[in-house]
Amino acid sequence: MRRMLRFARGVDRIAESLGRISIYLILVLVVIGFYNVAARYIGRFIGQNLSSTRLLELQWYIYSVLFLLIFAYNIKHDVNVRVDILYARWSAKRQAWVNLLGTLFFIVPLAIIGIWVTITPVMQSWGQLPNGTFGPWEMSPDPDGLPRAPIKSFIIVGFALLLLQALAQIIKYAAIITGHREVANAMAAEVVAVDIAE
């Protein structure tokens, strides 16, 4: 169990790093969004195009990356939406059982299916042809747009990170069920810390 908990702690560190990275991505997203809006209005006023398709697409690329990278962080901090009329009154062990089963039967299959169904479209976006060779990347249909392949690859990355974090959570829930009180206390502290931050 100690090795598995060490693995879970390593995955937790990745999720925490992604949470910190997302803060900076949000700042970049806000700056680009502000520039796009300001450039559009100033450009109309002076009669010139100050914005570009690339900047508009970059804005939604960053938003998409944020959405996909934050999956693991949300699972780690248990900030998913839950109707907890009964759940809040249950013991830590019973909550761990519910979380373990939910993660095992819903989140893990979702992540595996998400990876599986996106591999082919992502490879085609990178230019893979039916004969296995590679051609040009998929590009934006808009003039002067960005390539689609890198952003589509983040779908696989997001689901892979979700799967890793789900496995880490399963290990922690199993530890709580088998009586590792320190794991339950650490997980409760993380949830409280996020609640206070909100």
**Half-sphere exposure for 149 (CA within 13 Å, toward CB):** 14
Contacts of residue 73, defined as CB under 8 A and 6 or more positions apart, other chains included, come to 15, 16, 18, 19, 22
**Which among 148, 138, 161 has a CA at the least distance from the CA of 68?**
161
User: In the chain, what are the domain boundaries?
Assistant: 2-197
* pLDDT higher than threshold 80 for residue 78: yes
Mean pLDDT of the chain: 88
| Three-class secondary structure of residue 147 per DSSP | strand
pTM for the model = 0.85
Reported as a single tens digit per residue, the pLDDT across 64-77 is 999 998 989 999 98
pLDDT over 90 percentage in the chain:
57
pLDDT at 191: 60
Are the beta carbons of 119 and 30 closer than 8 angstroms? no
Reported as a single tens digit per residue, the pLDDT across 33-69 is 999 889 888 888 888 878 888 998 999 999 999 999 8
Reported as a single tens digit per residue, the pLDDT across 81-122 is 766 778 778 888 998 999 999 999 999 999 999 999 999 999
pLDDT at 68: 92
